[in-house]
């Protein structure tokens, strides 16, 4: 196993074993759907973070809300941890079984429960992935815009309050979840929200669960907003003399209120990686990859406005992706940038930051981070949902070089502290997990975190729901 | 005093007196800003609901977060209720001192703390009203869109998760609050959220407080999103042969994804009232009052699309409000419809429903409600944020006629139950307060309400924050 980063040593928490009667009860109910095989456990004890594999003691493949409720009821009775698992694409150690317990695999809960095209809503089981959803609703003329890099499950996306490239126009999971079915820590099934677009009825439990990273309950069904496929879509790339120029163009686009659908920054390192991985020939210079949604005339107008702004900052003429296929190829390349970049340094691991700041502070946030990265000499690349003030600087580090690992962790810490000074957040979209627990306190303050903890204690007094994550018990 | 409606009898809760040492401490700190005068207490013991006036025992005019924290700390020590008060425009009995206690008047906390025009954000004290905010930021070229009928305080609007006529395009307080300063039940001051547009850092405390109706803490400062004033704005009215036709046009507008900024229904009764009150001469036929925001071309295009849709349902040609003054006059009339209608039946009181359903169910929801209203013979009028699936049917009732009051309460109950059957909510924007506590259980289910109660018990174990509201202790 690779040496973990200095800060990526697992917290020392007391393991909580599954008592024999509980394991027997699980086997009695779930048969082969309850596995303790080493390979299965290992697969469920890792994510895309740099932490060492930390397997659960058992994995149960659930096929219904009732299945999940049965597992949680047993876990509650025996005070055993429960960790919901979608596709394993989280980035901050969310899925690691730091106190053992049962991984509740939701990947077989992959049914689209109902599509209400006339209401622009859909209800899915938590294991449905974002790509599957869009494939299955294609003939309704609607789509679901939230697209984190991975083909994540919608349960995982709700749990981490995910966003992605379309968030600048369509919002994040915070804005796009209408309601939930949740198995609470007591094993009860509750429903939150309605299919109405808005409501002033009671506490906003939906948004309490969205982003709670599995620490308050297991989401099993999710009702989402959908959007009509725009009449016209056009995508373009624009190269700039510097990253600063690309970022300043973005700031202007947002301040003017241009309803741009996607506004992504790629630095030359990222472009080099995607060129190689996706067989593209993009110029290896700072670039914005943009998309416009609307009517034919509206899209043209937005593009003209943005092109004029870009020119002021030295941006070159737009290169248009003229066909849907070209567009898909560009965006697929963007989405694969993470894996593309990993391949540029064989054997490396990746540490990615995820800060998000008010839009006027974005240039400072990115420029200073780049200066530090350049000075370190460690390979890195940048992609960013810059329209949201959010960017990722990802280091490719040799996990067997403790000095390099220590440097990266220090730089990552500096980037987070800078974002907080600029009145931003330590996580735009990846969540807290294990890795950012300390930063959450820096950001929210001890008082606010204490309040989160009170809620957790109240709803999960035995600390069985994904324990050890987000904040200390 | 008028007889309350049958369902508007106050719950029988034990009064909790302010002990002498606490009153002395309040007087010592606040001097004349702490009042026990009957007139002041009465003014703070009522809202726009039909409940009898229920005054607090004292009123404290706070001027800072520290003031509020001082009151709450004393109230915590002495287990005395605290009720935050903005302008008194709530509609479901939110402000009534059903167990006595201290009304914390925030109207003097009316400063705009900071405007960050480059980030499209503003931070205000909780007592700033929505009209004041838009007046004070006018020269930034930005505006804040949320506009409930009253000129409410932004604290009150956040507490009830308010929306209004622009919500169809810009969202509600749920989507537009970025962060809060809150005095918790323990008297501690915490901050939630950041000025970044999105965040995946920890539990969404901001949205837990938004809509919690003062039962979890007192919001003292609020950071809000602002929007660039659109390049072009145009407003039009369109008359229809029936309310059904107007509603079906609306459904099509939403399903097609037209980014309409405002889409309001007025029935002939509402138009009659606003004509008289605001000296207008609108045709007294079912009407949509619409507004389009965007570029010149975009606004034209939206209007053409909507006009074509309206024609399919028998809508007449648009009558345009051609100048900003005409537009302001129309919207002022719409905002005054509540008070205008009250004047059509002298001495009456008003009971207004507030259901919101998925857009495809809106026609059924409105049509059936109208049939019942017509059959009752009791005067009523309808306005609705129909683009959101939300409408208000308001009865004008003689408070001294118990039979009429009973009928209205029964019809109101039927409307709520219909909305729930149609998968909607009992409150689109007014909140639960005292009046809809039973409906909240019908809507969310006992399990979800029990979870809300657990959160309340955990964060406010002495039940001092606006007790007796939203759900039973």
Give per-residue pLDDT as tens, B154-168. 999 999 999 999 999
Q: Which residues of A touch B195 (CB under 8 A)?
A: 358, 423-424
For residue B359 the two structure tokens come to 């857009």
Residue A316 has pLDDT above 70, yes or no: yes
* Residue B369: HSE in the Cβ half-sphere, 13 Å Cα cutoff: 36
Residue A90 has pLDDT above 90, yes or no: yes
Number of Cβ within 10 Å of residue A37's Cβ equals 10
* Residue ranges of domains in chain B, CATH in brackets: 6-105 (3.30.43.10), 112-228 (3.30.465.10), 230-344 (3.30.70.2190)
CB contact under 8 A, B228 and A256: yes
* pLDDT band at residue A5 under the 50/70/90 scheme: low
| C-alpha distance from A268 to closest chain B C-alpha (Å) | 26
Q: What is the mean pLDDT of residues A403-411?
A: 92
What per-residue confidence (pLDDT) applies to B10?
A: 80
Instruction: Indicate the residue of B172, B203, B294 with minimum beta-carbon distance to A455.
Output: B203
- Window 220-239 of B: residues touching A by CB (8 A cutoff) are 227-228, 230
What per-residue confidence (pLDDT) applies to A3?
A: 46
Report chain A's C-alpha Rg in angstroms. 22
Residue A4 has pLDDT above 80, yes or no: no
CB contact under 8 A, B459 and A459: no
| C-alpha distance from B312 to closest chain A C-alpha (Å) | 18
What per-residue confidence (pLDDT) applies to A80?
A: 98
Nearest-by-CA chain B residue for A212: B203
Q: Which residues of B touch A230 (CB under 8 A)?
A: 257
Using a CB–CB cutoff of 8 Å, tell me whether B362 touches chain A: no
Q: What is the mean pLDDT of residues A342-368?
A: 93
Number of Cβ within 10 Å of residue A455's Cβ equals 20
Using a CB–CB cutoff of 8 Å, tell me whether A143 touches chain B: no
Among the residue ranges A352-361, B139-148, B324-333, B424-433, the one predicted with the least confidence is B324-333
Interface test with B, best of A90, A201, A386 (most B CBs within 10 A): A201
Q: What integer best gives the mean pLDDT of chain B?
A: 95
Give per-residue pLDDT as tens, A8-32. 678 888 899 999 999 999 999 999 9
Residues in chain B: 473
CB contact under 8 A, A432 and B200: yes
Instruction: Indicate the residue of B251, B354, B432 with minimum beta-carbon distance to A202.
Output: B432
Instruction: Indicate the residue of A116, A163, A358 with minimum beta-carbon distance to B121.
Output: A358
Measured CA to CA, the distance from residue A179 to residue A182 in angstroms comes to: 10
Q: What is the mean pLDDT of residues B47-70?
A: 96
Give per-residue pLDDT as tens, B325-380. 999 989 988 988 998 999 999 999 888 889 999 999 999 999 999 999 999 999 99
Give the pTM.
Answer: 0.97
Residue A399 has pLDDT above 90, yes or no: no
What per-residue confidence (pLDDT) applies to B353?
A: 87
Q: Which residues of A touch B358 (CB under 8 A)?
A: 116, 118-119, 121, 195-197
| C-alpha distance from A204 to closest chain B C-alpha (Å) | 6
Using a CB–CB cutoff of 8 Å, tell me whether A269 touches chain B: no
Q: What is the mean pLDDT of residues A389-397?
A: 95
Q: Does residue B430 contact residue B149 with C-beta atoms inside 8 Å?
A: no
- Window 102-131 of A: residues touching B by CB (8 A cutoff) are 116, 118-121
Residue B119 has pLDDT above 60, yes or no: yes
Q: Which residues of B touch A389 (CB under 8 A)?
A: 196-197
* pLDDT band at residue A7 under the 50/70/90 scheme: low
- Window 6-65 of A: residues touching B by CB (8 A cutoff) are none
SS (H, E, C) chain A: CCCCCHHHCCCCCCCCCCCHHHHHHHHHHHHHHEECCHHHHHHCCCCCCCCCCCCCCEEEECCCHHHHHHHHHHHHHHCCCEEEECCCCCCCCCCCCECECEEEECCCCCCEEEEEHHHCEEEEECCCEHHHHHHHCHHHCEECCCCCCCCCEHHHHHHCCCCCCCHHHHCCHHHHEEEEEEEECCCCEEEEECCCCCCCCCCCHHHHHCCCCCCCEEEEEEEEECEECCCEEEEEEEECCCHHHHHHHHHHHHHCCCCCCEEEEECHHHHHHHHHHHCCCCCCCCEEEEEEEECHHHHHHHHHHHHHHHHHCCCCCCEEECCHHHHHHHHHHHHCHHHHHHCCCCCCEEEECCCECCHHHHHHHHHHHHHHHHHHCCCEEEEEEHHHCEEEEEEEECCCCHHHHHHHHHHHHHHHHHHHHCCCECCCCCCCCCCCHHHHHHHHCHHHHHHHHHHHHHHCCCCCECCCCCCCC
Measured CA to CA, the distance from residue B108 to residue B110 in angstroms comes to: 5
Using a CB–CB cutoff of 8 Å, tell me whether A448 touches chain B: yes
What per-residue confidence (pLDDT) applies to B50?
A: 84
* pLDDT band at residue B403 under the 50/70/90 scheme: very high
Nearest-by-CA chain A residue for B470: A202
Interface test with B, best of A143, A165, A198 (most B CBs within 10 A): A198
Query: How many A/B residue pairs have CB atoms within 8 Å?
Result: 283
Residue B37 has pLDDT above 50, yes or no: yes
| C-alpha distance from B6 to closest chain A C-alpha (Å) | 22
Measured CA to CA, the distance from residue B160 to residue A39 in angstroms comes to: 50
Q: Which of the pair, A466 or A349, is modelled with greater confidence?
A: A466
For residue A164 the two structure tokens come to 């992605």
For residue B364 the two structure tokens come to 């059924």
| C-alpha distance from A218 to closest chain B C-alpha (Å) | 14
| C-alpha distance from B333 to closest chain A C-alpha (Å) | 25
Exposed, middle or buried: residue A246 (CB in 10 Å: 0-12, 13-18, 19+)?
Answer: buried
Q: What is the mean pLDDT of residues A161-181?
A: 98
Using a CB–CB cutoff of 8 Å, tell me whether A297 touches chain B: yes
- Render B123-182 in DSSP notation, one character per residue: EEETT-BHHHHHHHTGGGTEE-----SS--BHHHHHHTT---TTHHHH--HHHHEEEEEE
Give per-residue pLDDT as tens, B306-320. 999 999 999 999 999
Measured CA to CA, the distance from residue A19 to residue A102 in angstroms comes to: 12
Measured CA to CA, the distance from residue A132 to residue A126 in angstroms comes to: 12
What per-residue confidence (pLDDT) applies to A9?
A: 74
CB contact under 8 A, A194 and B443: yes
Q: What is the mean pLDDT of residues A281-287?
A: 95
| C-alpha distance from A22 to closest chain B C-alpha (Å) | 26
What per-residue confidence (pLDDT) applies to A2?
A: 41
């Amino acid at each position: 196993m690779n040496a973990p980063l200095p800060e990526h040593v697992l917290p020392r928490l007391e393991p909580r074993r599954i008592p024999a009667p509980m394991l027997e009860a699980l086997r009695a109910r779930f048969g082969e759907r309850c596995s303790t095989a080493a390979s299965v456990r290992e697969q469920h004890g890792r994510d895309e973070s740099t932490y060492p594999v930390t397997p659960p003691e058992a994995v149960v493949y659930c096929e219904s809300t009732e299945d999940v409720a049965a597992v949680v009821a047993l876990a509650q009775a025996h005070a055993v941890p429960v960790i919901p698992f979608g596709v394993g694409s989280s980035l901050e150690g969310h899925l690691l079984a730091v106190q053992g317990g049962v991984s509740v695999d939701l990947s077989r809960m992959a049914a689209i429960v109902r599509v209400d095209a006339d209401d622009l809503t859909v209800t899915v089981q938590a294991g449905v992935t974002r790509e599957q959803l869009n494939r299955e609703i294609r003939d309704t003329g609607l789509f679901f815009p939230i697209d984190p890099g991975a083909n994540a499950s919608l349960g995982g996306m709700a749990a981490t309050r995910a966003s992605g490239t379309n968030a600048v126009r369509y919002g994040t999971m915070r804005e796009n979840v209408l309601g939930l079915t949740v198995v609470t820590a007591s094993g009860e099934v509750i429903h939150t929200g309605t299919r109405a677009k808005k409501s002033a009825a009671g506490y906003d439990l939906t948004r309490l669960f969205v982003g709670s990273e599995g620490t308050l309950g297991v989401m099993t069904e999710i009702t989402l907003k959908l959007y009509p496929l725009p009449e016209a879509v056009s995508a373009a790339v624009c190269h700039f003399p510097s990253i600063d120029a690309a970022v300043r163009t973005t700031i202007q686009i947002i301040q003017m209120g241009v309803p741009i659908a996607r506004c992504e920054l790629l630095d030359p390192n990222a472009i080099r990686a995607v060129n190689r991985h996706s067989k593209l020939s993009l110029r290896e210079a700072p670039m914005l990859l943009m998309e416009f949604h609307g009517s034919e005339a509206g899209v043209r107008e937005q593009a003209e406005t943005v092109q004029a702004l870009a020119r002021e900052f030295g941006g070159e003429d737009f290169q248009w992706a003229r066909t849907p296929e070209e567009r898909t190829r560009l965006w697929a390349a963007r989405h694969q940038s993470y894996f593309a970049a990993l391949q540029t340094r064989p054997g490396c691991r990746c540490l990615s930051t995820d800060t998000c700041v008010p839009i006027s502070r974005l240039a400072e946030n990115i420029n200073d981070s780049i200066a530090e990265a350049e000075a370190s000499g460690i390979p890195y690349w940048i992609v960013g949902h810059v329209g949201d003030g959010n960017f990722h600087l990802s280091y490719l580090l040799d996990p067997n070089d403790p000095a390099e690992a220590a440097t990266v962790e220090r730089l990552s810490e500096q980037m987070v502290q800078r974002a907080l000074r600029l009145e931003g957040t330590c996580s735009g979209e990846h969540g807290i997990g294990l890795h950012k627990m300390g930063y959450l306190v820096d950001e929210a303050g001890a008082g606010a975190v204490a309040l989160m903890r009170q809620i957790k204690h109240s709803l999960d007094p035995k600390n069985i729901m994904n324990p050890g994550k987000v904040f200390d018990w």
